[in-house]
Structure 1
Amino acid sequence: MAVSERRGLARGSPVEWGPRLLLLLLLAGCSGRIHRLTLTGEKRADIQLNSFGFYTNGTLEVDLSLLQLGPQKTEEKTPLVGFSLTRVRSGSVLSYSPQEPYDCPLQKNSSNLLVLFLINTKDLQVQVRKYGDQKKLFIFPGLLPEVPSNPGPPKPGPSATPKVDSVAPSTINKDGPVLSTVSQESQQGPSRKDKELVLDLNLHDNSYNFSFHVVIGSRAEEGQYNLNFHNCHNLIPGREQPFNISVMIWEKNPEGFLSAAEIPLFKLYMVMSTCFLAAGIFWVSVLCRNTYNVFKIHWLMAALAFTKSISLLFHSINYYFINSQGHPIEGLAVMHYITHLLKGALLFITIALIGSGWAFVKYVLSDKEKKVFGIVIPLQVLANVAYIVMESREEGASDYRLWKEILFLVDLICCGTILFPVVWSIRHLQDASGTDGKVAVSLAKLKLFRHYYVTVICYIYFTRIIAILLQVAVPFQWQWLYQLLVEGSTLTFFVLTGYKFQPAGDNPYLQLPQEDEEDVQMDQVMTDSGFREGLSKVNKAGGRELL
């Protein structure tokens, strides 16, 4: 029975991805944590298939349904094609360990390497080599048997798990957790056979296929696991041999299909969505109480808060369905990507408009500011397209890393570009504070702009740098703190920006200059801001008093 028929998840033939954004939106997230990767004419030597955090009784199932290789050398003693299973205890960034050029991972033992699946096409077998003291990391041929929907005796089928050496087959109870049983021989200590298992490799129409599943049997084996495919024949540039591969992967923890670091995200995004919704409602109430001082930018800030709340709501719902079904609902995924696109565009546009002083002190943007918006808006569209493509494609796809680099680069460019309007406004206020005769108001606005500049810098720093460092430093089950820091920093940034630029009569950003108060406040403002030296004050009677 085919894998798609046994699981009931692959509906129809594989879809070829087109360049249109709408097609990407409709197909986004359809695989979820049940991965299906098909590569044709691939020439890469190393392919990272997936990364997943497993708890005790977590399972990894791999079904290699098609593998077509080029001409192989028969004199090779060690197979140069196969899978590797590695574990990284703190952060997925550390999973990329440097290696020498032309160095085959299948012929080298690493500190993180746990299991090698060496595909021997000559003898039609797969050699399983375990490294380290992995007593409770169980490996079995075939896939896990299905849980029957109706009570009754189990029906034997090709997906049943046969017994391998000294380890008994694993079973699944009604609630989903995997229960592993070990024979008496395995409990006494690992044997040579347990160290090197042998799986059958099938050959059909010049295509190899086999399947296996891994069970995490104890807390000592919990961690972040990476599954990679290696074809060491393609290590030497210019001698690559194209190959075709189709593999399907199921990853599951006892609580569902989410990785250990993703299990709390459903509740986290739901709580943060409520917080942004409450902030948006409170902001609208403030605008309704101060209608005289409300500008268009204030309503744009309210729209940003509500859009962010809706985006997080759809994100939370997606994680709920991924955890229960292994893939999200396509319609909800489309809504999430649409709101995510609107949120990203509104965020950078709002920051740039506030920094330029639009609607508060002027209603026309300068040519330089128009160029900034002409750069930021298209870049934000490109960044969101890259995000959608990354979410839609499998991690092992050929262009996955390219779109990931595009997203990172575009995001950095946008973060740097939106700072220019704030810097220009600060320079403008510095020049105006000593020439327009309204020093008190100009310096108060200058101080506010400087605070806003520092706030934007801190927001970028926390969400782009500190959050990544936190993800690397914490253990695998606590990597959800990365999302908590990002969303918490975003909420704090929204609240501080709203407080600084609230529509109140005593806000220096909105305050009109008063001639009677200017002379009284000027001495104190100039003394506090350091602009006293070299300036003079002109009295209304026509005299000049040196300061």
Structure 2
Amino acid sequence: MKTKMTKVPLLLLAVLLFLASPAAAEIKSLTISADTRPMILFEKFGFTHTGWVNIRVSSVSVTSKVAGDPDPSHLGFFLLSEESLLQVLVEIQQNPHLCVLESHYISRLFDFQHLSPPPSSSFNQSYPVTAPNEYSLFFANCAPETTVTMDVRTEVYNLDPDGSRDYLSAGLTHLPSLFSVFAVAYLAFLGFWIYLCYSHRLSTHRIHILMAGLLLMKALNLISAAEDKHYVKVTGTAHGWDVLFYIFQFLRVVLLFTVIVLVGTGWSFLKPFLQEKEKKVLMIVIPLQVLANLASVVIGETGPFIKDWVTWNQVFLLVDIICCCAIIFPIVWSIRSLRETSKTDGKAARNLAKLTLFRQFYIVVIGYLYFTRIVVFALKTIAAYKYQWVSNAAEETASLAFYMVMFYMFRPVERNEYFILDEEEEEAAEMALRDEEFEL
């Protein structure tokens, strides 16, 4: 029985390390109330050779259902690198009664033996981290049937050559500059799009105005992200920029999914209205994005130390997958509708051009979703902690490329693929459509 009970917190530890990413703010103050968890993950941070950890604990209360006081050496904080995780798992599997605080592969910071005596029960100490690596800061409770209540303030940072503190993880310290560069790129893109719409006013539709709004929200989202990371880097907290970041992120994601659905249905520039099933897609996607944004806020602003953190991660992933699948249906419906229309309306060339365009758009959307959901995640997983910014750069580059391709395909122009009237092209298109129907 004890062996099984030991494996549970070890499995939880592995899951937390896998899911957790460096937190948004590196100064945290929180209250742990009557908590019985054997392992609590507070921070995940990439340290240079000048790293520091400060832990301040106060108002500590420990109660046990077992007779006698719990061993204070079995409750405490430690650092663990991902490289050492497997060694710790093997070590404890070989000795199920071993407390993780007694492992040879952790960096033990302090245990409750160092607490000042009641009623103050407090502790405040800073520890240098001289071995560069990505470490996770854990609290371990190896005392059986013991609950812990305490106020905890953690502070992790690296020292720059000038002696100033850098509260961003070693792999994320370049993010303020990275987001600023992409924000400028999107603002330039927005200016060009406005110029293009103004120059082709007769061909500009409501969808093009909505697309301009998407570019604006994306630029504002990146500006707030850059400021958020800058203030975290300098001060350890976001100073309210995280609120703006989540607002613009929500508006940006809702607009992005809405634009993909509307473009995929041909709304505004092919037809002035949406069918009932297309409206239902929007009615599903938008509320789900509200839920996804709520989950994103909980994940980003709290951390693995809350009891339902893993659940919120699962909710976010599930909702994101549902939305990604839902926005594909309108494009498929448009392709199917064009195939049916091409048999009856006598405009083969125009329908073939539309069909080709929507197929290309379908491939572009699938490629974008695949890259940002799978490839970017893989980069986050395999990249060394010093290069965590690479996954952010890859995601933003892919997003910018997707926006540029989508906007180019559906740009406002007087004569485009929808208005092919050449007779020879018409005959060739009819043959192509017949061949395609025969192959299907």
* TM-score where L is the length of structure 1: 0.69
Q: Using the alignment, how far apart are the partners of 2:392 and 2:71 within structure 1?
A: 47
Question: What is aligned with 1:251?
Answer: 156
Alignment of 1:317-336 (within 5 A): 317-330=227-240, 332-336=241-245
Q: Using the alignment, how far apart are the partners of 1:309 and 1:89 within structure 2?
A: 38
SS of match in other structure, 1:226: strand
Gaps of 5+ in 2: 1-22, 161-165
Instruction: Pick from 531, 541, 546 the counterpart of residue 435 of structure 2.
Output: 531
SS of match in other structure, 2:415: coil
Q: Using the alignment, how far apart are the partners of 2:438 and 2:377 within structure 1?
A: 47
SS of match in other structure, 1:507: coil
Query: In 2 relative to 1, CA 264–345 (structure 1 residues): closer, same or farther, beyond 3 Å?
Result: same
Instruction: Pick from 347, 356, 367 the counterpart of residue 256 of structure 2.
Output: 347
Q: Using the alignment, how far apart are the partners of 1:107 and 1:532 within structure 2?
A: 67
| Conserved? CA contact 1:36–1:249, under 8 Å | yes
Query: In 2 relative to 1, CA 327–107 (structure 1 residues): closer, same or farther, beyond 3 Å?
Result: closer
Alignment of 1:170-319 (within 5 A): 200-205=114-119, 208-217=121-130, 221-233=131-143, 240-255=145-160, 256-319=166-229
Q: Using the alignment, how far apart are the partners of 2:118 and 2:24 within structure 1?
A: 27
Q: How large is the RMSD of aligned CA atoms in angstroms?
A: 2.9
1:108 CA displacement? 6.5
1:254 maps to a residue whose letter is L
1:313 CA displacement? 0.5
Q: Using the alignment, how far apart are the partners of 1:500 and 1:324 within structure 2?
A: 42
Instruction: Pick from 318, 322, 339 the counterpart of residue 409 of structure 1.
Output: 318
| Conserved? CA contact 2:70–2:143, under 8 Å | no
Question: What is aligned with 2:107?
Answer: 115
1:105 CA displacement? 5.0
1:388 CA displacement? 1.9
Deviations 1:285-325 (A, max 9, x none): 11111111111000111110011101111111111111111
Question: What is aligned with 1:88?
Answer: 82
Alignment of 1:361-380 (within 5 A): 361-380=270-289
Q: Using the alignment, how far apart are the partners of 1:95 and 1:473 within structure 2?
A: 19
Q: Using the alignment, how far apart are the partners of 1:275 and 1:356 within structure 2?
A: 28
2:107 maps to a residue whose letter is V
Question: What is aligned with 1:65?
Answer: 58
* TM-score where L is the length of structure 2: 0.85
| Conserved? CA contact 2:202–2:414, under 8 Å | no
Q: What percent of counterpart residues are identical? A: 31
Deviations 1:206-237 (A, max 9, x none): x64333322123xxx10101011111335xxx
Question: What is aligned with 2:27?
Answer: 34
1:117 CA displacement? 4.6
Q: Using the alignment, how far apart are the partners of 1:434 and 1:95 within structure 2?
A: 66
Instruction: Pick from 422, 425, 435 the counterpart of residue 521 of structure 1.
Output: 425
| Conserved? CA contact 2:217–2:252, under 8 Å | yes
Question: What is aligned with 1:12?
Answer: none
2:386 maps to a residue whose letter is Q
1:418 is aligned to 2:327: yes
1:374 CA displacement? 0.6
How many residues end up aligned between the 2 structures? Answer: 409
1:212 maps to a residue whose letter is Q
Q: Using the alignment, how far apart are the partners of 1:386 and 1:456 within structure 2?
A: 24
SS of match in other structure, 1:482: helix
Deviations 1:175-210 (A, max 9, x none): xxxxxxxxxxxxxxxxxxxxxxxxx332212x6433
Q: Using the alignment, how far apart are the partners of 2:35 and 2:212 within structure 1?
A: 48
1:481 CA displacement? 0.8
Q: Using the alignment, how far apart are the partners of 2:266 and 2:324 within structure 1?
A: 18
Gaps of 5+ in 1: 1-29, 126-199, 235-239, 536-547
| Greater RCO structure (CA 8 Å; 6+ sep) | 1
Q: Using the alignment, how far apart are the partners of 2:315 and 2:97 within structure 1?
A: 28
SS of match in other structure, 1:401: helix
Q: Using the alignment, how far apart are the partners of 2:254 and 2:412 within structure 1?
A: 23
Deviations 1:87-108 (A, max 9, x none): 1369x9x999798697765266
Question: What is aligned with 1:158?
Answer: none
Q: Using the alignment, how far apart are the partners of 1:393 and 1:354 within structure 2?
A: 36
2:44 maps to a residue whose letter is S
1:342 CA displacement? 1.0
Query: In 2 relative to 1, CA 472–426 (structure 1 residues): closer, same or farther, beyond 3 Å?
Result: same
SS of match in other structure, 1:531: helix
2:78 maps to a residue whose letter is S
Q: Using the alignment, how far apart are the partners of 1:344 and 1:95 within structure 2?
A: 41
Deviations 1:464-508 (A, max 9, x none): 110010111111010111111111111101000011111123322
Q: Which protein is richer in helix relative to its size?
A: 2
Query: In 2 relative to 1, CA 262–32 (structure 1 residues): closer, same or farther, beyond 3 Å?
Result: same
1:385 CA displacement? 1.6
1:388 is aligned to 2:297: yes
Q: Using the alignment, how far apart are the partners of 1:479 and 1:284 within structure 2?
A: 35
Q: Using the alignment, how far apart are the partners of 2:279 and 2:88 within structure 1?
A: 42
1:31 CA displacement? 8.8
1:429 is aligned to 2:421: no
* Range 519-528 or range 41-50, more displaced: 519-528
Q: Using the alignment, how far apart are the partners of 1:532 and 1:403 within structure 2?
A: 46
Deviations 1:426-452 (A, max 9, x none): 111112222222111111111110110
Q: Using the alignment, how far apart are the partners of 2:158 and 2:55 within structure 1?
A: 15
SS of match in other structure, 1:365: coil
SS of match in other structure, 1:266: helix
